[in-house]
Structure formats: structure tokens, C-alpha cells
Chain A
Amino acid sequence: MLNLVSKLLFTLSALGVVSAIAYGLAVDERSGVAIFLFLALAATVAGVATSGYAVPDLAPVLPDDAPPPQRRATTVGVAPRGSVWPLVAAGALTALAVGSALGAAGVLVGVIAVVAASGGWFSKVWSEDPTWIPKVKERVSSRLLVPVGLPVATFLLAAFIAISLSRVLLATSKDLAAVIAIVVGVVTLAVCSWMAARPSLPSSVVVSVGVLAAVSILGAGIGGAVAGERHFEEHGAHHDEVIHIVAKETAFDKKKITAKAGEKVHIEFENHDDLFHNVAVYSGEGPTSKPIFNGEGFPGEDSREYEFTAPPPGKYVFVCDFHINMTGELVSVAR
């Protein structure tokens, strides 16, 4: 039983095959051909889906002596029940889009938001089901929510606060971190004692304080994560890493060095040959391209210190301009 729409879709399917053949003959470009063939397939799927009893398309048979048409007394239509969850879910998906532009941490936050929103939407659907009666509700809460859900939720809350705050503390300087920790502790203590001292506090106040706290912790956490961790220094370590390269018997002693993109690279270059040597850095194509850094050449025994800014992430070569066979690889990694 084909209705108008399924007939059209099957026609479209046939047209898709014809277009694929015609396009293949006329233009011979494989992606277009494939798209038309998949169009034929997809139209067939939609055609099958809309044919048969899935989409009834028959009008009632009218006997000859049928009364004239009238405004039928229908039962009053039901306005569909709305929900705020679609808005929340759309917001979560948008947060994912923003997060994905910002980086891995943003993606994580976005994914958590999307999962939470779909969970909320699902629980709304769940609670609207006719099987969800107070008795069931009570049983579920006593058997599941309290023994399982509460500890899990508490753990998640603790983890959320710990991770967010740790981002902030790691992003700030050592002294500031101590101050922030003390202030947060004191404020928490003060607010909690204030709330504890007023047993008849309206729930709206409690909820708003909770939401305010959650949002500010989340915001601070994201801000801290974006700012990145402060630079940690080990006692006694060099402030800047120095790369030692030695040239001996017309060869470098290192085949591969790494640098952090955008940061200064210090190279201590020792020449043990009588010949002129230097260190120059080129992009992947080799010494024919424009040099990224070109160190001063000098005969041995001597040494020089070179300093330059590491190029964007990628693979580069370093060579001696005087001896093309003296090469090595410079890997620039993202910070």
C-alpha cells in the first residue's frame, strides 16, 4: 500500500540512481556519484518507512445517504505537556560546542553537561509514566536513592569541589593559594553556621546559596583550568634547559632534540673539529628552505651559545650549513 509520500520517495530513489549514472558519465567525479547513490538508498529507506500501515492514507467511506459534514464534537484536545528540559539540553549541547572550541577540559565539561541534561530529561519522562506512583517512588528512594545514590552523589560533589578548587589553587601563586584556601574555608564556615543557626530558613534561600556556590566553584575551576598551572620549580634545577650539541669528526652527537613551541631554546654548541661548523634550523623540507635559525659558524676547538625561539609545533631539521650531511631532527612540541 503506497501513499502519495512513499510513491514520491520511491520516485526520488529512482531519480537518484539515474542522476548518479548521468553524473558519472557527464562529470566523472566519484563523490557526487556516491552521494546520489546514497540519496537513492536513503530515499528508499524513507519510502519503506512511510509506506504500508505506517502512514494510513485512506478517507472513511461515505454512504450515499451520509448526513452533511458538521463540526464534530470532539473531546477537547490536550495541550502537550511542556518541560524545561529541552532548554536545558540545548544549553548543554551549546556548552559542549563552546567547550570543544576551548580545549579538552571544555569538551569534558560539555560532555558532562550533556549527559546530565539527558539524564534529567529522561527522569522527567520516567516520572510522567503512569507506573510512577507514590508507592513506587517511596520504594525506589528507600532501596536505591538513599543507600546507593546518596554516597555516590556525595562522592561526586566532593570530587567536583576538590577538582575545581585545586585548579584555582594550582593556577595562582603559592602565597595567594594559601590566602584563597583560608578565605574559602572561612566563608564556607560562616555561611554554613549562619544557615545552621536559622532552622526555619526558606528553602529558596538554601537553594540559591547552593546554586551560587556551585556556579562560582565551577566558574573558578574553569577559569583556573584555562589559566593553566603555575610554573613549578625544582630546587637546584636550571631555570632554562640547555641543549648540548657536540660536533666531532663531521657529525653531530645528537640526532634528535626537542623544544617547546614559542619558548626560548638555548643551545650550547661545541666544535671539536678543525673545520667550520654551525647549527641551523630549517623547516621539514631541508636546507633549501628559509632558515628558522642560523647560528654563527666557527672553527674548533671552540664553543658558542645559541639562542632562538622555537617554531610552531611540528618536525624540523637542524643541520650544519657547511656540511650538508650533518643533520638531526628538531621536534617542536606544543606547550
Chain B
Amino acid sequence: MSDAPLALTTGGVERPKKVMPLGMALLVSGGTMFFGTLIAAYLRLRTSGGDWPPEGVVYDEYLGNMLVLTMLLSVLPIEWACSAQRRNLRNQTATALGVAIGLGVAFLNLLSYSAGRVEFDAASHPYGLVVTAMCMLLGLAVGAAVFLVTLTLFRVAARQLTVTTDHLRTTALYWHFTVGASVAVWYVVVVLK
């Protein structure tokens, strides 16, 4: 077990322990189970027989595709922000985060528009309930991500984040999780219909 020396920096001072990315990564694994359960419930309904999709439910594939594309696109500015922060380019970091916030808000706007367009509601059918729950929670998750990135942007602007801090990495982890969740929800709702 002990065949390598413990990583201690010179001067005998332990490096500050980066707890936040690990905490976020574990939270993301919990989030995977969360959306996984909703998807499991959806799949269970699909196999339970009866007409599929239920009568009167009309999909607008175009909107769904645009939603997931928006989220996929937002990976780029987030990664840009991380890389800029590693090189200590504050203006670039702030710009990239601003673009990411814009994409997130665009996603939320499109989601609420799509919600108004769909021809079923939560009470109409068990299917309607699960799909509503998935889309609503996805919206909440992305909303939280936008909120988190906004707070991070404030801290970037105030020079509170340095090259060594891991706030941005942590925020990025969560953002990417919401992207993954939206891809998963898009896959089951739009592709698998």
C-alpha cells in the first residue's frame, strides 16, 4: 500500500484540499439516479401496454432538438471559461460565463415556450405526469445552473477566483451534468417516442 510518498508540498504545509469538485461529482452521481428514476418510470409506462404515444399527444420534434442543441452548445463557453481561468484571463472568463448564461436563459425560454405548446398536461395521463415532471425538473436544474454560474461570474468579476481555486471547475461539473440530463430526457421523450 505505502510504496509512494505522500504528496506534500515543500515547507511541510499540506495543500488546501479541494473538496468542492469531489462533492459536486458525488452530487452529480446522485443526480444521475434522480433523473434515472424518472426515466425508469417513463419506460415502465411505455411497456405497460395500450396505445403509444397516447392518443392526442403531438410532438414537436423541432423544438426538442433545438433545446438539446442549445444545451450541447453551452458546453463550449463553459470549457472556454475554465481554460481562460487557468490562464488567469479574467475578461475572457467573464465573457465566456456570460455567453453560457445567455444560452442557459435561451434554453429556459424555449422550454417554457414548448411547455405552452404541448397538447397535454400533467393530469391528462400518467404519461403526461412523467413528461411534465422530467421537463419541469430539467428546467429547475438548468435554472439552478444559471444561478450558480451567475454567482460565479460575480466572483470572477470581483477577482475573488484565482488560478488555484476550484469554484469554476465545480460549477462546470454541474453545468455539464445538466447538459447530460437534457440529452437523456431528450432521448427518451423525443427520440424514443
Q: Contact residues of A with B, CB < 8 Å? A: 29-35, 37-39, 41-43, 45-46, 48-50, 53-56, 58-62, 118, 122, 126, 129, 131, 136
Contact = CB atoms under 8 A, between A and B. Distances in A.
B5 A43 contact: no
Contact of B155 (A34, A38, A41, A126): A126
A126 B43 contact: no
* Residue from B3, B29, B30 whose CB has the most chain A CB atoms within 10 Å: B29
27 contacts: A30-B47, A31-B40, A31-B43, A35-B40, A37-B36, A38-B36, A38-B37, A38-B40, A39-B36, A42-B29, A42-B32, A42-B33, A45-B25, A45-B29, A45-B32, A49-B26, A49-B28, A49-B29, A50-B25, A55-B22, A58-B1, A58-B3, A58-B5, A61-B2, A62-B2, A122-B151, A126-B155
B140 to A, nearest CB: 11
Contacts of B7: 53, 56, 58
Interface residues of B, number: 33
A31 B160 contact: no
Interface string B7-48: 100000000001001100110111011001101110110110
B4 interface: yes
A37 B43 CA distance: 13
Interface of B: 1-7, 18, 21-22, 25-26, 28-30, 32-33, 36-37, 39-41, 43-44, 46-47, 147, 151, 154-155, 158-160
Nearest to B25: A49
A154 B30 CA distance: 42
Contact of B6 (A49, A56, A129): A56
Contact of A60 (B6, B18, B29): B6
A276 B127 CA distance: 44
B37 A59 contact: no
B160 A131 contact: yes
A34 B43 contact: yes
Given A30-B44, A34-B43, A49-B29, A60 B5 contact: yes
B2 A58 contact: yes
B158 A31 contact: no
Nearest to A41: B32
A contacts with B: majority SS = helix
B153 to A, nearest CB: 12
Nearest to B165: A129
A45 B28 contact: yes
- 8 smallest CB-CB distances across A and B, nearest first, come from A38-B36, A49-B25, A34-B40, A31-B44, A59-B2, A46-B29, A45-B29, A42-B32
Contact of A54 (B2, B21, B158, B159): B21
Contacts, number: 94
B137 to A, nearest CB: 14
Contacts of A126: 154-155, 158, 160
B40 A129 contact: no
Contacts of A131: 158-160
Given A50-B22, A129-B160, A42 B47 contact: no
Contacts of B155: 126, 129
Contacts of B147: 118
A71 B20 CA distance: 30
Given A29-B44, A55-B22, 19 more contacts: A30-B40, A30-B44, A32-B40, A34-B40, A34-B43, A35-B36, A38-B33, A38-B36, A38-B37, A43-B29, A50-B22, A53-B7, A56-B6, A58-B3, A58-B6, A59-B1, A59-B2, A60-B6, A61-B2
A330 to B, nearest CB: 18
Contacts of A48: 25
Contacts of A41: 32, 36
B36 A42 contact: yes
A31 B130 CA distance: 13
Nearest to A46: B29
A35 B33 CA distance: 8
B151 A38 contact: no
A46 B155 CA distance: 28
A126 B159 CA distance: 11
Given A49-B26, A54-B22, A38 B2 contact: no
A58 B6 CA distance: 6
A129 B167 CA distance: 13
B5 A61 contact: yes
B155 to A, nearest CB: 7
A56 B30 CA distance: 22
Contacts of A53: 7
B162 to A, nearest CB: 9
B6 A59 contact: yes
* Residue from B18, B26, B40 whose CB has the most chain A CB atoms within 10 Å: B40
